[in-house]
Structure 1
Amino acid sequence: MVELVLGGLAFGESPRWREGRLWFSNWGTGEILAVDAEGKSELMASVPPETLPFSIDWLPDGRLIVVAGVRLLRQERDGALVEHADLSGVADMFNEIVVDRRGYTFVNGGWFDFSKPGVIVVVTPEGEVRQVADGIAFGNGMAVSEDGTTLIVAESYGCRLSAFDIGADGSLANRRVWADLGEGQHPDGICLDAEGAVWYADVPNQQCVRVREGGEVLQKVELDRGAFACMLGGEDGAALYILAAEWSGFENMFTPARTGQLLTTPAPAPHAGRP
């Protein structure tokens, strides 16, 4: 059973469960919100409303990190957002982010010409920016395995989840297809569970799907609008939160219509890994 937690959103993205609440980016408004189980929301930070994409995660010391265009921002203790890294020398725009437990920050991005293959960069704990992968077919959600050794990335245009081994210096190696999802499947945001499965959101197919390595489908949650991202959370980590909205193309990202929803449904296994 899928339940509504919060409505009236623009386009929710980059959900993260933290300290008893679900945090996410509300694209088209510039808001970073935190929502409790009763649906009460709080504004935690803002970027200019026209900033797209923007996604979030945290450094090991608890400071919020925000991908905003070609900049990586860091929220200081007083709430101010300051530049953490400049990514403009690598690509035109950046999308999703995940920070591993050591503080290596992985960000995927690409070009305004979406047909061009994208990249993944790492920002080291010392602030060095390096490109660590290319040939990404529109990178979207990313996750790091519970043991910290594997990065999984959703390639929306490639209809697959791909995996890399993470090196001691944040480098990526041994690229492989973690799950071939089949033609017509377009993974967006993803998260990992304690049984080693991945949940992925799919906008055009209006669903969230749980798959194991190799591509076997374990479960589907069907919706009445596009699923942009998902995250496991709740008190026991076994509530699947889904950010969904009606999708009518990039040209309508700033429409005043607010069809976005935060939904939840029980999941068979709790959260694992990062984010």
Structure 2
Amino acid sequence: MPELRVIAEKLAFPEGPRWHDGRLYFVDHLDGHVNVVEPDGTVRLLATLPGGASGMGWRPDGTHLVVSMHDQRLVALGEQVTEVAALGGLVGGPLNEMVVGGSGRAYVGNFGSDLTGGEPLTPTVLVRVDPDGSAVVAAENLVFPNGVVLTPDERTLIVAESFALRLTAFDVDENGGLSNRRVWASFGEAPSLDFGEIVAQGTTIPDGIALDAEGAVWVSDPVGHEVIRVAEGGRVLDRIPTGELGSYAVALGGSEGRTLYICANARLGRIEPGIDRCGQVLTVEVDVPGAGRP
């Protein structure tokens, strides 16, 4: 059994791990913190977003983009936090995960509704933000678009539709347009669009994802006690238990790209946000290095 190591703990809700320029970045989204893990293991706070922090990525010029969840903005970190795009007119709920391609285009998911405020689960859109800050709907009718990756040639985008229990793929054209929608992997049939019923079913709910060099995807599961590695079509290739905690996001990085970073927390439905503070960032070594973006 691979050995898990804790590199950060007592977090409210760690999410969005990214390996960039030799270091691990992650957010603690309930606190709005954007963090970096220094080579000596110290976790350093880079910025606090009052609207809550989620997905992040970097443009080719080094601009550090971060999702500001509840005010529905994409922002850039620097000496100050600056707005890149306001997405409230396109989305129905808090913003969520994101991938930034080599072109500088960002694809941003969202909840679809105010689930934490009691609104029903509602299909929604994936938004594309171009380098000039303009934003358009890239894909519609997605059920909680969450973790998202681009293949190394950036011609395929894969997104986790968490509460549809599937990974969905699109072809990407030279202008960033998405087409040829298809199911990349399915983990079962959602019983309804009722959040509670889906969680109670106990089926894998794909949250954050990471692509490796063999074209397989590591999938985090907030209702399970593991992360899984799946091939296109849904065959499970590997499983790594996460003990009593569920997994919410993953990333591949490290010096050889073979370190799997896992953001873990109490299982979905059992968290007292900001009170339990049992969130952790875990690492484990795997055989196949990461590929694509993020």
TM tier, smaller: over 0.9
CA distance in 1, matches of 2:54, 2:148: 14
Amino acid in structure 2 at the alignment position of 1:138: F
TM-score by length of 2: 0.88
CA distance in 2, matches of 1:228, 1:23: 15
Are residues 1:195 and 2:214 paired?
yes
| Structure number with higher strand proportion | 1
Residue 9 of structure 1 corresponds to 11
* Alpha-carbon offset, residue 114 of structure 1: 4.7
Residue 24 of structure 1 corresponds to 26
The change in CA–CA distance for 1:114 and 1:105 in structure 2 (over 3 A counts) is: farther
Amino acid in structure 1 at the alignment position of 2:18: R
CA distance in 2, matches of 1:202, 1:269: 20
User: Is this contact kept in 2: 1:162–1:175, CA < 8 A?
Assistant: yes
- 1:157 match: secondary structure: helix
Residue 195 of structure 2 corresponds to none
Which of 61, 70, 73 is 1:71 aligned to? 73
Show structure 1 runs of 5+ residues with no match. none
User: Is this contact kept in 1: 2:8–2:280, CA < 8 A?
Assistant: yes
User: Is this contact kept in 1: 2:222–2:268, CA < 8 A?
Assistant: no
Quick one: percent identity of the two aligned structures? 41
Runs (4+) off by over 3 Å: 247-251
Which deviates more from structure 2 when the two are superposed, residues 171-180 or residues 54-63? 54-63
* Alpha-carbon offset, residue 52 of structure 1: 3.8
- 2:147 match: secondary structure: strand
1:1-275 correspondence to structure 2 within 5 Å: 1-36=3-38, 38-48=40-50, 51-52=51-52, 54-69=54-69, 70-76=72-78, 79-91=79-91, 92-109=93-110, 110-112=112-114, 113-183=119-189, 184-223=203-242, 224-247=244-267, 249=269, 252-255=272-275, 257-275=276-294
Amino acid in structure 2 at the alignment position of 1:215: G
CA distance in 2, matches of 1:53, 1:82: 14
Count of equivalent residues = 270
CA distance in 1, matches of 2:268, 2:285: 29
Deviation readout 1:211-266 (Å, 9 max, x if unpaired): 011111000111120101010111100011101011464983232x2201111111
TM-score by length of 1: 0.94
User: Is this contact kept in 2: 1:20–1:36, CA < 8 A?
Assistant: no
